[in-house]
Amino acid sequence: MLDLRNWLMYQVHGRRLPPRRRKPRRGPLSLPHYRAWIRQQECCVCGRSVGVDPAHIGPHGYWQKAPDTTCVPLCRRHHDELHAIGRVAFEPKYAICFEIIMEGLFTEWSERQSRQSLPGERPDEQRSSALKLKAATAMAGVAKAIASGPLPRENGLV
Structural domains in the chain (count): 1
* pLDDT, tens digit (0-9, with 9 covering 90-100), for 42-86: 999 998 989 999 998 877 767 677 888 889 999 999 999 998 998
* pLDDT, tens digit (0-9, with 9 covering 90-100), for 82-118: 989 988 999 999 999 999 998 899 889 889 888 865 5
**Strand runs (DSSP E) across 49-154, as ranges?**
52-56, 71-75
Q: How far apart are CA 6 and CA 134, in angstroms?
A: 58
How does DSSP classify residue 155?
A: T
Is there a domain that residue 77 lies in?
A: yes
Q: How far apart are CA 51 and CA 143, in angstroms?
A: 30
Is there a domain that residue 47 lies in?
A: yes
Residue-range definition of the domain harbouring residue 144: 28-148
Query: 13-17, 76-80, 129-133, 152-156: lowest mean pLDDT where?
Result: 152-156
The pLDDT-based confidence of 154 (bands split at 50, 70, 90) is low
* pLDDT, tens digit (0-9, with 9 covering 90-100), for 9-31: 888 888 888 877 777 767 777 88
Q: How far apart are CA 109 and CA 41, in angstroms?
A: 11
Is there a domain that residue 42 lies in?
A: yes
Q: How far apart are CA 49 and CA 77, in angstroms?
A: 13
Task: Specify the pairing of strand 52-56 against strand 71-75.
Answer: antiparallel
